[in-house]
């Protein structure tokens, strides 16, 4: 009986061994040094640099190579010598920088840089949707690169860390900028906030997200009357709670919005993008109905803008006047405080880069990390964001499908 049992057991073992089994995907969890290039930025009068010397030191100590174009950090207070001391290589041409396998930029890639891209290279930068055109996108796709946008990379708890960090800076700076353009030097000599015995200035904020909250705090601190509009009731409720005080809030209703904007001294556009594009909620005729000398700060211009009258400007020529209203539409507003903004960028991107190095490179990390993967809009030349494909009438390819056949 025992011998019969043992014989049956051996047969079962043999049968099981012959059964087909699921094979676990091998992501190659072996560390791989990264070769990172950081060019000197010339677009939009950009002053930020994505990696500070402290971050470079941490990456170099893990065996990674960092190549930086001479002068790239000077506007943020970081000299070439600061980077040399922590192990970076300083080069004197963009061609040398673009030999790196991973390029990290503080601004979108420009037409002069596209020919320098190499097949299978990785590009990490902002995308700046209003300035992106189909020709530029096609040329990048032809280079067969993998491209990620800072704006779309997700962190913990389904957040967008790059957007949040830059939004906090932009919200605070928006109020400082509005105060500047209301003053005698540029405007009608109005103090943003107000004084005893005189009604406070009115600040309308479109959007109750990170930018809106930072702007509201700054404006309230100066004594202004703040009105916040958003189509999301939950965001409005959270804003009230986070501010710890009762302010005017409203859903976006065109009639009510028109009335409040007409009486405002400052209007700040900070609505969250929907499918990559900010909803345009303020029409040209609503802007025409605003006070002469009032100020629009369109922080959302990097995703299309909240105002029909907006157009992208830069830090060299940041404003234009239309219908008697000053428009400030700089997409990289945080660049005006470039040292602070550089630390913010560096603090966010560095942990991603360290993890990518530890798990076998950027492409492996895209496969393993859903948040980093979410930032990918091109994978080896294929367009992987449906809203971009729809906007430019290009072929969309599902990223998950591409990754499943790329093991």
CB 292 within 8 A of CB 266: no
pTM of the predicted model as reported, rounded to 2 decimal places = 0.85
Identify the pLDDT of residue 216: 97
What is the DSSP track for 15-62?
HHHHS--PPPP----S----EEEEPPP-GGG----SS-HHHHHHHHTT
Whether pLDDT at 243 is above 70: yes
CA 75 – CA 49 distance, rounded (Å):
9
Say if strands 202-206 and 122-125 run parallel, antiparallel, or are unpaired.
unpaired
Task: State yes or no: pLDDT of 14 exceeds 70.
Answer: no
Q: Of 166, 93, 147, 152, nearest to 345 (Cα)?
A: 166
> Residue 156: is its pLDDT beyond 70?
yes
On the question of pLDDT at 24 being above 60, the answer is: no
Structure confidence at residue 7 (pLDDT): 54
- Residue 17: Cβ within 10 Å count: 8
| φ/ψ of residue 228, rounded to 5 | -120, 130
pLDDT exceeds cutoff 90 at 15: no
Mean pLDDT of 45-63: 96
What's the alpha-carbon Rg for the chain, to the nearest Å? 25
Judge whether residue 1 has pLDDT over 70: no
Residue 20 pLDDT? 46
- Helix crossing, 338-358 with 161-182: angle to 10°? 170
Q: What is the mean pLDDT of the chain?
A: 91
The first and second tokens of residue 236, run together, are 């409005």
Beta bridge pairs of residue 382: 379
Domains and their CATH numbers in the chain? 35-159+337-404 (3.40.50.720), 167-330 (3.40.50.720)
How does pLDDT run across 269-328, given as a tens digit for each residue?
Answer: 999 988 778 999 999 999 999 999 999 999 999 889 999 999 999 988 999 999 999 999
Backbone angles phi, psi at 277, to 5 degrees: -130, 135
The pLDDT, as a whole number, for residue 23 is 43
| pLDDT at position 177 over 70 | yes
Q: Are 275 and 102 in contact (CB under 8 A)?
A: no
pLDDT digits (tens, 9 = 90+) for 352-383: 999 999 999 999 999 999 999 999 999 999 99
Rounded Cα gap, residues 67 and 96, in angstroms: 8
- What pLDDT does 9 receive? 46
pLDDT at residue 172 greater than cutoff 90: yes
- Residue pair 340/47 in contact (Cβ under 8 Å)? The answer is no
Region 34-57 average pLDDT: 95
pLDDT surpasses 70 at 407: no
Confidence grade of residue 18 (pLDDT, cut at 50, 70, 90) = very low
Position 284 scores a pLDDT of 96
Predicted local confidence at residue 27, as pLDDT: 43
pLDDT for res 129: 84
């Amino acid at each position: 009986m025992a011998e019969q049992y043992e014989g049956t057991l051996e047969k079962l073992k043999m049968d099981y061994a012959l059964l087909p089994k699921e094979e676990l995907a091998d992501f190659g969890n072996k560390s791989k040094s990264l070769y990172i290039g950081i060019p000197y930025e010339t677009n939009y009068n950009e002053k930020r640099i994505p990696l500070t010397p402290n971050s470079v030191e941490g990456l170099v100590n893990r065996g990674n190579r960092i190549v930086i174009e001479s002068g790239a950090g000077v506007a943020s207070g970081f000299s070439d010598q600061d980077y040399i001391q922590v192990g970076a290589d300083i080069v004197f041409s963009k061609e040398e920088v673009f030999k790196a396998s991973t390029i990290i930029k503080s601004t979108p890639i420009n037409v002069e840089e596209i020919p320098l891209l190499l097949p299978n290279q990785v590009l990490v930068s902002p995308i700046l949707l209003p300035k992106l055109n189909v020709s530029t996108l096609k040329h990048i796709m032809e280079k067969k690169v993998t491209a990620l946008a800072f704006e779309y990379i997700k962190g913990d708890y389904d957040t967008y860390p790059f957007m949040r960090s830059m939004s906090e800076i932009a919200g605070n700076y928006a109020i400082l900028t509005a105060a500047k353009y209301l003053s005698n030097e540029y405007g009608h000599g109005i103090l943003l906030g107000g004084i005893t015995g005189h009604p406070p200035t009115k600040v309308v904020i479109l959007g109750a997200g990170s930018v809106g909250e930072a702007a509201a705090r700054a404006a309230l601190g100066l004594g202004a009357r703040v009105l916040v509009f958003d189509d999301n009731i939950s965001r409005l409720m959270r804003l009230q709670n986070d501010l710890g005080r009762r302010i005017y809030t409203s859903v976006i209703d065109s009639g009510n919005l028109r009335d409040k904007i007409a009486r405002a001294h400052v209007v700040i556009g900070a609505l969250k993008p929907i499918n990559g594009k900010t909803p345009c909620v303020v029409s040209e005729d609503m802007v025409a109905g605003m006070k002469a000398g009032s100020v629009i700060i369109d922080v959302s211009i990097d995703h299309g803008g909240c105002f029909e009258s907006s157009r992208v400007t830069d830090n060299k020529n940041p404003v234009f006047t239309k219908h008697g209203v000053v428009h400030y539409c700089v997409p990289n507003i945080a660049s005006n405080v470039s040292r602070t903004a550089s630390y913010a960028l560096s603090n966010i991107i560095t942990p991603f880069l360290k993890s990518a190095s530890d798990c076998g490179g950027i492409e492996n990390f895209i496969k393993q990390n859903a948040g980093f993967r979410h930032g990918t809009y091109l994978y080896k030349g294929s367009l992987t964001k449906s809203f971009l494909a729809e906007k430019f009438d290009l072929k969309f390819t599902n990223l998950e499908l591409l990754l499943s056949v790329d093991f």
